[in-house]
C-alpha cells in the first residue's frame, strides 16, 4: 500500500500502528515489513476485525492489540507474543507453533485448534470446539488456559498438550455447560476447575484425581495465567480440579476388522 508510512509512528524499538480502516492484507504487509527490522514492541491501535494478525512474522516480537482482532489471530504463528486488550474472534491460535496469545476478554470458537506449541491465555469464556486436536511432541507442549468456561466439543480428538478451564466466572453452585468434552481424545491432559458431570464427557475420556505432579504442573499454568490478569493464583488453585485423561492411546483400535 502506498501510504503505509502514515500509519506508523516509531519511537525507539516500539512501533505504533493505527489500523483504522486498513484492509487486513495491507495491515499484515505492514507488520511483515516492520518485523523485518529490529523492532521489539508493536502497539496496534483501533484494530477492528482484521484477520490473521501475527501470522508469518516468524520471530519473537511483542504485539499489543487494542480493539477487536478478526478471525485466525495468530494462525500458524511462530514466535510473536500477542496481548489483546479486548475480545478475540474465532480461530485464535489456529495451528499455532510457537509464541503466546493473552486475551483480556473472551475468545470465540475453535480457539487453539490443532495447536502444536506456545501458550494461549484467555481471561474469560471461549466458544465451541476449543482445543480440538492439540498435539505435543517431546518438550513441545502447547498450553491453553481459559479463565471462564467453554462450550461443547472442548478438547475433541486431543492428541497432546495441556488444556485448563478455570470456571472463574461461574456462580456458586453453577457447573460447566459443555458437552462431548474430549471425544476421541488420545493424548494430553485437561484440568477442569469446578464441577463436570460424567455425562458431559466423551466416551474416550476418564476423570481421575490429581497427583502431586499435576499440582506442580497446574501451579505453573495457573501461576502464569494469574500473573497476566492480576488474579491470586493461590485462591484459584484452592478450588476443586478434575483431571481428564484419555482412556487409551488408541481409542479406535478395535473399530476395524483387518
Partner 1 sequence: MLKTLLPSRFIVERDPDRCIQCQVCVRQCGFDVHYYDAEDDVVRARDEQCVACHRCVAYCPTDALTIRKNPLSYRDNFNWRPETIEDIIKQAETGGILLTGMGNDKSYPIYWDHLVLNASQVTNPSIDPLREPMELRTYLGRRPDSVEIDWETGRLKTSLTPLVPLEVPVMFSAISYGAISLNVHESLARAAREAGTLFNTGEGGLHRSLYQYGPNTTVQVASGRFGVHSEYLDVARMIEIKIGQGAKPGIGGHLPGEKVSAEVAKTRMIPRGTDALSPAPHHDIYSIEDLSQLIYALKEATNYTKPVSVKIAAVHNSAAIASGIVRAGADIVAIDGLRGATGAAPKMIRDNVGIPIELALASVDQRLREEGIRNRASIVCAGGIRNSADVVKAIALGADAVYIGTAALIAIGCHVCQACHTGRCSWGITTTNDYLVKRINPDIAAQRLVNLLRAWSLEIKEMLGGMGVNALESLRGNRLHLRGVGLTDTELEILGVRMAGS
User: Contact positions toward partner 1, by CB under 8 A?
Assistant: 25, 28, 32, 51-52, 55-56, 58, 71-72, 75-76, 78, 90-91, 94-95, 97, 110, 113-114, 116, 129, 132-133, 135-137, 140, 153, 156-157, 159-160, 184, 186-187, 249-258
Secondary element (H or E) of residue 164: strand 159-165
Closest approach of partner 1 to the CB of residue 73, in Å: 11
Residue 114 is placed in which grid cell?
490443532
Looking up cell 490443532, which residue turns up?
Answer: 114
Closest approach of partner 1 to the CB of residue 145, in Å: 20
Looking up cell 481459559, which residue turns up?
Answer: 146
Give the side-chain half-sphere CA count within 13 A for 151.
11
d(CA 200, CA 181): 6
Residue 255 is placed in which grid cell?
473399530
Closest approach of partner 1 to the CB of residue 234, in Å: 33
In the complex with partner 1, the residue whose CB is nearer, 113 or 225, is: 113
DSSP of 119-152: EEEESS---SSTTTT-B-BTTB--EEEESS---T
In the complex with partner 1, the residue whose CB is nearer, 163 or 166, is: 163
In the complex with partner 1, the residue whose CB is nearer, 198 or 250, is: 250
In the complex with partner 1, the residue whose CB is nearer, 81 or 133, is: 133
Closest approach of partner 1 to the CB of residue 172, in Å: 33
Amino acid at each position: 500500500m502506498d501510504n503505509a508510512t502514515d500509519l506508523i509512528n516509531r519511537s525507539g524499538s516500539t512501533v505504533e500502528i493505527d489500523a483504522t480502516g486498513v484492509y487486513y492484507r495491507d495491515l499484515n504487509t505492514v507488520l511483515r515489513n516492520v518485523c523485518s527490522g529490529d523492532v521489539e514492541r508493536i502497539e496496534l491501535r483501533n484494530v477492528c476485525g482484521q484477520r490473521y494478525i501475527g501470522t508469518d512474522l516468524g520471530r519473537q516480537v511483542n504485539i499489543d492489540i487494542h480493539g477487536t482482532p478478526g478471525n485466525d489471530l495468530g494462525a500458524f504463528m511462530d514466535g510473536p507474543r500477542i496481548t489483546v486488550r479486548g475480545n478475540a474472534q474465532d480461530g485464535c491460535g489456529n495451528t499455532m507453533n510457537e509464541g503466546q496469545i493473552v486475551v483480556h476478554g473472551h475468545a470465540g470458537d475453535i480457539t487453539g485448534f490443532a495447536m502444536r506449541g506456545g501458550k494461549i491465555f484467555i481471561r474469560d469464556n471461549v466458544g465451541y470446539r476449543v482445543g480440538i486436536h492439540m498435539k505435543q511432541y517431546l518438550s513441545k507442549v502447547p498450553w491453553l488456559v481459559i479463565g471462564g468456561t467453554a462450550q461443547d466439543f472442548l478438547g475433541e480428538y486431543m492428541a497432546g498438550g495441556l488444556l485448563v478451564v478455570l470456571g472463574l466466572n461461574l456462580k456458586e453452585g453453577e457447573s460447566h455447560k459443555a458437552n462431548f468434552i474430549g471425544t476421541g481424545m488420545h493424548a494430553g491432559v485437561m484440568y477442569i476447575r469446578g464441577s463436570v458431570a460424567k455425562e458431559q464427557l466423551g466416551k474416550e475420556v476418564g476423570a481421575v484425581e490429581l497427583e502431586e505432579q499435576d499440582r506442580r504442573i497446574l501451579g505453573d499454568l495457573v501461576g502464569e495465567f494469574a500473573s497476566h490478569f492480576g488474579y491470586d493464583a493461590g485462591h484459584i488453585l484452592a478450588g476443586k480440579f478434575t483431571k481428564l485423561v484419555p482412556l487409551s492411546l488408541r481409542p479406535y483400535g478395535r473399530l476395524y476388522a483387518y
